[in-house]
Amino acid sequence: MNPRPTAIVTGGSRGIGRAIARELARTHHVVATYKGRRDAAESLQAETGAEIFQCDVSSPSDRTALVEFARTKFPRLDLLVNNAGMAPRERRDVLDATEESFDELIATNLKGPHFLTREAAGWMLNTGPRTGRIVFISSISAYAVSSNRAEYCISKAGLSMSAAVWAERLAKEGIRVFEIRPGIIRTDMISAVEKKYEERISAGLVPQGRMGEPEDVARAVRAIADGLLDYSAGQVLDVDGGFHLRSL
């Protein structure tokens, strides 16, 4: 009998990450990270039995500690979901945006998952058989411009390329890498502009006519975790209600 597989979900205590952790907990041992809200992480732990670990993915020492923590608990890593990310603390026109905000978002949204993937891939490569999977949660902002949060868009565009680089490098090793691009998803990250988005969706912004829910993204991760896309290394999954479609 195969042992229960193991998954790491970064930013797993809230929003999209929480939905992913809850979904995966049905079939996997889950290690869910959190940065600040321990109460949210503890409620996830109580609900699902997931292991929780405080981790700022922008910190090299935190990333190493996360992988070492998981290694002490489980013999192998089957799935990494790079979900942790942040929006700018303040939306500013690109003409007024600060280097501090740029550096913070690049460190958290791009550098963190890129180098955590290096740590996780190293673990996967050293424990056979090589059947691991890695998911990058990016955003429609990887290609859709918002000039009042340029640093976010740039970080997600870079993350999309990071996913492609890792997909190409690891495919030959038996490790499949995927990118999921959520659209407008109902989380606290968009709470300040949720009403505006709802109005634009009602006006036709999203072909399917509704805002996405975290569970929509979790179901895409489920398909990857179950091996349904194993011959689609590097595939980009648009979970956006058809936002990416272009029409005349």
Which residues does the annotation mark as catalytic? Answer: 152
Q: 129 preceded by cis ω (within 30°)?
A: yes
- SS3 for 212? strand
Alpha helices in 3-144 (DSSP H): 15-24, 38-48, 60-73, 99-105, 112-125
Q: Which two tokens stand for residue 228?
A: 């349904």
Tokens representing 136 are: 């990058």
Token pair, residue 235, equals: 């595939």
User: Half-sphere exposure of 220 toward its Cβ, with a 13 Å CA cutoff?
Assistant: 25
Residues contacting residue 167 through CB under 8 Å, at least 6 positions apart: 176, 177, 178, 179, 233, 234
H or E, element range at 218: helix 214-225
Please compute, for residue 38, the number of CA atoms within 13 A of its CA located in the half-sphere on the CB side. 2
